[in-house]
Chains A and B, each alone.
Chain A
Amino acid sequence: MTTQTAPVTRSIVTSPITRGARRRRRKPSVFRTLSTALIVVIVIVQVYPLAWLFLTSLRTEHDYASGNPFALPSSITFDNYARAFATGNLGMNIVNSFIVTMGANLLIVLLGMMAAYALQVLGFRFSKFVRGLFLIGIIVPVQIALVPLFIDYASVNLLDTYQSMIIPLAGFSLPMSIYLFSSFFEYIPRETYEAASLDGAGPYRIFGLITLPLSINTVVTVVMVNSIFIWNDFIFANTFVLSEGLKTIPLGLQNYIGAMGKVDWTATFAAVCITITPLLLVFLILNKAMIYGLESGGSKG
């Protein structure tokens, strides 16, 4: 700490010079040009595989098999998309993913908000202990739940249902959601609650009339962050779901390769493009909310 406080005092004295220095540095410096160029290169490397995925889905099969992979498609075709829809069950997979994502999000938001309300606003004697209990869920890997849940589901006939995916997905996301809601509830001033209490409102009315309406932004954040993981979940779906009719997008895509024997890569890539579109659109539209959520999720921890 001592190393940090010393320069602060000095900077107050030198502030006019600092302003001058800032103006001077506005000229394009070598450093800035270099770092801009470097960032452009890094971003291209980062995004190119996805662009390539999309371009490949527009290629003809012959073009894909023989051509240079970096070349632009010699002719654009949408046949791959037609074949992708004809072979797989993409529509149904998307609906299933949607149901699972909605179901899990509903639980995560509602229960996360309730737990955070109990921990942060109501308060009780063992709240530290309960917080610690929820913290375990952030560290523990999801694989520990696979065998026990498989056995439990088999004994209560829950294998191969939507619930079998929703329960662990919601359970493992709950701690982060509680954490985000708690840190938001800290910002609601105590006086608001005290005033409402004096007017005779009980804990349920305060929750419904004050806490819930104020948290809408946090709800969007929590839903966005969790949806990325739930929409793309592979391991729980792969373990607990067997029947074709319940398969979510990741399983449906995986089916592709098996179903066709010799892999039809251009059609598979078309299928990949179709299935990433819904989440990608939401991400691009709401990316401010999502980026904010991811940043605050990490930096407040």
Chain B
Amino acid sequence: MLPNRSRLSVLIFLVPPLLLYGVAVLLPIVQSLFLSFFSWDGISDMEFVGLTNYIHMFTGDTVFWHAFSNSLGYLVICLVLQLGGALIVASLLTSLRRGRNIVKTLYLLPAVISTVAIAFLFQRIYSIDPVGLLNQILGWVGLGNLERAWLSDINSVLAAVSIPEGWRFTGLYMLIIFAALLSVPQELEEAARLDGASRWQVFTKIRFPHIRPVWITTTIMATTYALRGFDIPYLLTNGGPGQSSELLTTYMYKTAFTSTNYGYASTMSVFIVVECLVAVGLIIFTLRRKDEA
């Protein structure tokens, strides 16, 4: 604490940021909570309906549950691609002597591309007429019978909209994990190697425990980002065909701005926030516990 500070100076530095944050983030959270107890189309009078929206969401709305399970599928695919891919590439990269920076830069490249551009790109990768990259590869390796229009097949569409999101950010998590792996003391690894530990044992007994705090952070980042995923499914399929790639976020967006049902959309956004908080709690709980054991 500075000796010469006054209460006024603290306020002068603190109030402007709090004001912006309050208007853009805190107030909307409170408003959403408030709106979730009302029925409102934006034009006629607001009507207080109590818990009706919540009861409808949990018991009466099959689309909601469908979207919820799709969101979980989307989350799993993103986590496997982003964290699994990041961990593998980061581990391989530590054994490389030269060219680390170029690999880092190239691997991060997709993260600077806008989601609209990515949606265009993947629309063509998945396309069947003219033959897109994916179907062409399948044809070459003799899996031609798997060729399909990936975005209009209800069995493949969820995976097809999740993969671009996983691809986009895996470089970001790779960077973070790689930086953590570099901080593992070399002496530890070499000593273990001399004692006859295999590469796998070195990884599970020394490297991974050492990077666990960073692993928790990246897991939280990747999970909360995947749960708010919206752009790519919205742009690629808009939730279709049918509801087979509808996520909670796209369903909520349509409820708000296509059906202008602000009350019910707010109920869903409250649910999404609670879902994120629960997910973060669960991650900290499970990963920390292992640490203590």
Contact = CB atoms under 8 A, between A and B. Distances in A.
A217 interface: no
B1 A47 contact: no
A276 interface: yes
B243 interface: no
Interface string B165-181: 00100111101101110
Residue of B5, B35, B218 ringed by the most chain A CB atoms within 10 A: B5
B84 to A, nearest CB: 12
Contacts of A31: 95, 199
A35 B92 contact: yes
B190 to A, nearest CB: 5
A50 B13 contact: no
Contacts of B76: none
Nearest to A294: B175
B3 interface: yes
A142 to B, nearest CB: 6
Contact of B2 (A36, A39, A121, A239): A121
Residue of B9, B249, B256 ringed by the most chain A CB atoms within 10 A: B9
Interface string B96-135: 1000000111111111111111001110110000111100
B154 interface: no
A243 interface: no
Interface string A249-266: 111011000000000010
Contacts of B277: 139
Interface stretch (B56-64, B145-153, B265-273): B265-273
Given A69-B130, A118-B14, A298-B221, A272 B110 contact: no
Given A50-B110, A172-B25, A279-B112, A21 B133 contact: no
Given A7-B195, A193-B2, A203-B2, A43 B228 contact: no
B159 interface: no
A32 B117 contact: no
A118 B143 CA distance: 61
A234 interface: yes
B1 A122 contact: yes
Contacts of A92: none
Given A141-B228, A145-B25, A250-B116, A295 B32 contact: no
A6 B6 CA distance: 51
A174 B20 contact: yes
A295 B191 contact: no
Contacts of B276: 139-141
Contact of B190 (A18, A144, A279): A18
A197 B2 contact: yes
Contacts of A232: 112-115
Interface of B: 1-7, 9-10, 12-14, 16-18, 20-21, 23-29, 31-32, 35, 42, 89, 92-93, 95-96, 103-117, 120-122, 124-125, 130-133, 136, 167, 170-173, 175-176, 178-180, 185, 187-188, 190-195, 199, 205-206, 209-210, 214, 217-218, 220-221, 224, 227-228, 230-231, 235, 249, 252-253, 256-257, 262, 265-266, 269-270, 272-273, 276-277, 280
Closest 6 CB pairs of A and B: A171-B24, A141-B228, A298-B176, A148-B31, A232-B114, A148-B28
Interface of A: 3-4, 7-8, 10-12, 14, 17-18, 21-22, 31-32, 35-36, 38-39, 42-43, 46-47, 49-50, 52-53, 56, 64-70, 107, 111-112, 114-115, 117-119, 121-124, 130, 133-134, 136-152, 167-168, 170-172, 174-175, 178, 193-194, 197, 201-204, 206-207, 228, 231-232, 234-235, 239, 249-251, 253-254, 265, 268-269, 272, 275-276, 279-280, 283-284, 287, 291, 294-299, 301
13 contacts: A31-B95, A49-B133, A50-B110, A53-B121, A138-B224, A144-B272, A147-B262, A234-B231, A254-B116, A280-B112, A284-B105, A291-B105, A291-B108
